[in-house]
């Protein structure tokens, strides 16, 4: 799914949830497209149940906001336990529904909204999405967003950051504009190299192939999947960051130890049509509700069916651990006094 070369707005606002779209409606038009699904090896019973669950989701469910072109060789969607898959899918749809009324950092400052508001070239727009995705690694969304605004100001036109601007700007000046992005010196160097490669090898555009993207400096599998999704509307698998990995464990969606293994397990049971929207939904939920240290279980709409509710990292749980530790210390002191 390409973007229009003459579009004056940012077409990638369609990846934002309702609250974020309302906020930017003055400058961006919402685009609704049909969902393209890939081949699936699911059983007929699972497909029937999946359709039933999707009918229960509200019309505003974010799964209807993106068209993607999933790779046929990725995932089989085979799940030996259909009932377990249905329970997990039901929880995912409930999370989608909850996200519609939330405004989270990724909705306001995520990669998909880092494009210059005056950009008219689809090539430039794709390049800006690549840069924002590269900067987002090890960096909070608001910091990445602010850095992108500074980079846009380096150019003299409304197009914002372009390959030509990067090539004509010194690495030191780029570093200063990126600061305090994580590893900003290294990323400034990577941007110079990426711009040169795109100019000479890809005619000033970014590659559409994930394999080719992974050959660029600073682009790993997760960032590469973000780029193909946002720049080309193409899904090369589920994007799994620390938030998605953490929530997958807490919600019982995966029993893995690494984000990459989590991605594979999620792709094994989640229908292809949800792959493109899952990351934005889950990341935002993880940023505001199911946070790493103190999840708000008492306010979570999924708590009734969450296997980890009030068990992991909650204030009550922390208090219980402190009491248990104090009890062990007192017992130890008693034993010492007896001796």
pLDDT at 35 over 50: no
Confidence (pTM):
0.72
Q: What percent of the chain has pLDDT over 90?
A: 65
| Cα four-point dihedral sign 240, 242, 243, 249 | positive
In the chain, the number of structural domains is 3
Q: Are residues 152 and 192 in the same domain?
A: yes
Active site residue 336: no
Distance CA 84, CA 22 (A): 36
| Confidence (pLDDT) at 59 | 37
Q: Are residues 218 and 252 in the same domain?
A: no
List, as one string, the DSSP characters of 195-210: HHHHHHHSTTS--SSH
33 occurs within a structural domain: no
Of the residues 56, 67, 222, 293, only one is catalytic, namely 222
Distance CA 205, CA 33 (A): 24
| Confidence (pLDDT) at 283 | 98
Per the structure, the complete domain to which residue 326 belongs is given by: 309-338
Q: Are residues 90 and 197 in the same domain?
A: no
Query: Which of the four pLDDT bands, split at 50, 70 and 90, describes residue 165?
Result: very high
Q: Are residues 94 and 121 in the same domain?
A: no
Q: Are residues 117 and 216 in the same domain?
A: yes
Q: Are residues 224 and 111 in the same domain?
A: yes
pLDDT at 142 over 90: yes
Contact 230, 49 (CB under 8 A): no
Q: Are residues 220 and 121 in the same domain?
A: yes
| Confidence (pLDDT) at 14 | 41
Contact 1, 234 (CB under 8 A): yes
Distance CA 79, CA 289 (A): 29
Of 232, 250, 266, the residue at which a domain comes to its end is: 232
Q: Are residues 228 and 242 in the same domain?
A: no
254 occurs within a structural domain: yes
Residue 40: Cβ within 10 Å count? 17
Of the ranges 36-45, 60-69, 94-103, the best mean pLDDT one: 94-103
Q: Which residue has the higher pLDDT, 319 or 181?
A: 181
Mean pLDDT within 267-291:
97
Q: What tokens appear for 303 in the block?
A: 């708590």
| Confidence (pLDDT) at 175 | 98
Q: Are residues 147 and 224 in the same domain?
A: yes
| Confidence (pLDDT) at 329 | 54
197 occurs within a structural domain: yes
84 occurs within a structural domain: yes
Q: Are residues 129 and 168 in the same domain?
A: yes
pLDDT at 166 over 60: yes
pLDDT at 13 over 80: no
Mind listing the pLDDT tens digit for each residue in 245-274?
Answer: 999 999 999 999 999 999 999 999 999 999
Residue with token string 């690694």: 137
pLDDT at 277 over 90: yes
pLDDT at 5 over 70: no
Q: Which residue has the higher pLDDT, 41 or 141?
A: 141
Query: Which of the four pLDDT bands, split at 50, 70 and 90, describes residue 44?
Result: very low
192 occurs within a structural domain: yes
| Confidence (pLDDT) at 86 | 85
333 occurs within a structural domain: yes
296 occurs within a structural domain: no
Mean pLDDT within 52-63:
41
2 occurs within a structural domain: no
pLDDT at 289 over 80: yes
Choice among 28-42, 101-115, 118-132, 186-200 with the minimum mean pLDDT: 28-42
Nearest Cα to 264, choosing from 32, 76, 69?
Answer: 76
Mind listing the pLDDT tens digit for each residue in 64-97?
Answer: 344 444 443 334 454 445 567 689 999 999 999 9
Q: Are residues 150 and 180 in the same domain?
A: yes
Distance CA 67, CA 34 (A): 6
| Residue spans of alpha helices (H) in the chain | 18-23, 44-56, 82-99, 105-109, 122-136, 141-152, 163-168, 171-178, 184-201, 210-213, 221-232, 242-250, 259-269, 275-288, 315-338
The CATH number for 172's domain is: 1.10.340.30
| Confidence (pLDDT) at 325 | 54
Q: Are residues 182 and 253 in the same domain?
A: no
pLDDT at 8 over 50: no
Average pLDDT of the residues of the chain: 80
Query: Which of the four pLDDT bands, split at 50, 70 and 90, describes residue 147?
Result: very high
Q: Which residue has the higher pLDDT, 29 or 87?
A: 87
Contact 98, 302 (CB under 8 A): yes
pLDDT at 286 over 80: yes
């Amino acid at each position: 799914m390409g973007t229009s070369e003459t579009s004056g707005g940012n077409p990638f606002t369609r990846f934002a949830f309702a609250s974020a779209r309302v906020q930017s409606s003055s400058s961006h038009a919402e685009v609704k497209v049909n969902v393209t699904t890939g081949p699936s090896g699911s059983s007929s019973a699972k497909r029937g149940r999946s359709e039933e669950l999707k009918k229960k989701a509200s019309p505003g469910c974010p799964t209807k906001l993106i068209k993607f072109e999933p790779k046929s060789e990725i995932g089989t969607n085979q799940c030996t336990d259909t009932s377990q898959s249905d329970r997990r899918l039901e929880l995912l749809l409930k999370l989608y529904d909850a996200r519609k009324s939330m405004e989270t950092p990724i909705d306001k400052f995520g990669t998909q909204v880092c494009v210059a508001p005056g950009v008219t070239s689809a090539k430039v727009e794709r390049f800006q999405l690549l840069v924002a995705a590269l900067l987002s690694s090890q960096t909070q969304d608001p910091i990445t967003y602010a850095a992108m605004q500074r980079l846009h100001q380096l150019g003299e036109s409304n197009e914002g950051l372009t390959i030509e601007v990067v090539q004509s700007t010194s690495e030191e000046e780029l570093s200063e504009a990126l600061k305090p992005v994580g590893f900003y010196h290294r990323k400034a160097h990577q941007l110079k190299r990426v711009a040169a490669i795109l100019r000479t090898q890809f005619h000033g555009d970014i590659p559409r192939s994930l394999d080719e993207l992974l050959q660029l400096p600073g682009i790993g599998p997760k960032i590469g999947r973000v780029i193909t999704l946002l720049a080309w509307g193409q899904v090369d698998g589920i994007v799994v960051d620390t938030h998605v990995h953490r929530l997958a464990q807490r919600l019982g969606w995966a029993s893995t130890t690494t984000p990459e293994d989590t991605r594979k397990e999620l792709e094994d049971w989640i229908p292809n049509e949800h792959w493109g929207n899952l990351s934005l939904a889950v990341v935002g939920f993880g940023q505001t509700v199911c946070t790493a240290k103190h999840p708000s279980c008492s306010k979570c709409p999924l708590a009734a069916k969450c296997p980890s509710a009030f068990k992991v990292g909650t204030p009550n749980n922390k208090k219980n651990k402190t009491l248990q530790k104090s009890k062990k210390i007192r017992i130890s002191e008693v034993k010492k006094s007896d001796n």
